[in-house]
Chains A and B, each alone.
Chain A
Amino acid sequence: MSAVQETRRATDFDEDLVLVDRVVAGDEFAFQTLFHRYHDKVFAIARGVLLDAEEAADAVQEIFTLVYRNLRKFDKRSRFSTWLFRVAVNRSIQQARKRRYTKKDVPLELAEEAAFEVEFTEPGDPEVETAMSQLHPADRALLTLFYWDELTLQDIGESLGCSSNAAKTRLFRARERFKQQYERTVVE
Chain B
Amino acid sequence: MRAPREIEELMWEVAEGGDQRTIDQFYSRYPEFADELEKRMQMVKTLRGSRPRKDVPSFVPRQSVRTLGPSRLAVAAVSLLVLASVTYATFAAMQFVNSQKTVRVEQPPEIVFNPPKFVQEDPRVDTSSVVEEYSAFQGPAVDERPEVPDIFMGKVTLQAEDISLSEAIVSIATQAGIEASIAPGFVDKRIRISCVEQPALSVLQELGQRFGFTAFKQGTIQLLIVPARSGDEVDAAGVPLKSNVSTAEAGSGNTKPKDDKEPDNEPPVN
Q: Which residues of A contact B (CB under 8 A)?
A: 31-32, 35-36, 39-40, 43-44, 47-48, 53, 56-57, 61-62, 64-66, 68-69, 91, 94-95, 98, 121-122, 124-125, 127-129, 143, 147-148, 172, 175-176, 178-179, 182-183
Cβ of B269 to closest chain A Cβ, rounded Å? 130
- B131 within 8 Å of A by Cβ? no
The number of inter-chain residue pairs (CB within 8 angstroms) is: 80
Report B-chain residues with C-beta under 8 Å of the C-beta of A68.
Answer: 59, 61
| Residues of the A chain whose Cβ atoms lie less than 8 Å from the Cβ of B61 | 64-65, 68-69
State which size class the interface on B falls in. 20 to 34
Which chain A residue shows the least CB distance to B60? A61
The secondary-structure label for the interface of chain B is loop
A147 touches B62 (CB 8 A): no
Q: Among the listed B8, B47, B49, B54, which residue makes an inter-chain contact with A143, where contact means beta carbons less than 8 Å apart?
A: B47
Which residues in B have their C-beta under 8 angstroms from that of A56? 52
On whether the beta carbons of B54 and A179 are closer than 8 Å, the reply is no
- Asked if A53 contacts B50 (CB within 8 A), the reply is no
Asked if residues A147 and B56 are in contact (CB atoms below 8 Å), the reply is: no
User: In the bound complex, do residue B40 and residue A179 qualify as a contact, i.e. CB atoms below 8 Å apart?
Assistant: yes
Q: Are A124 and B68 in contact (CB under 8 A)?
A: no
Residues of A within 8 A of B8 (CB): 172, 176
Q: A40-B56, A48-B52 are in contact. List 16 more A-B contacts (CB 8 A).
A: A35-B56, A40-B53, A44-B51, A47-B54, A53-B54, A62-B62, A65-B62, A95-B68, A124-B50, A125-B47, A128-B46, A128-B50, A143-B47, A147-B47, A148-B48, A172-B9
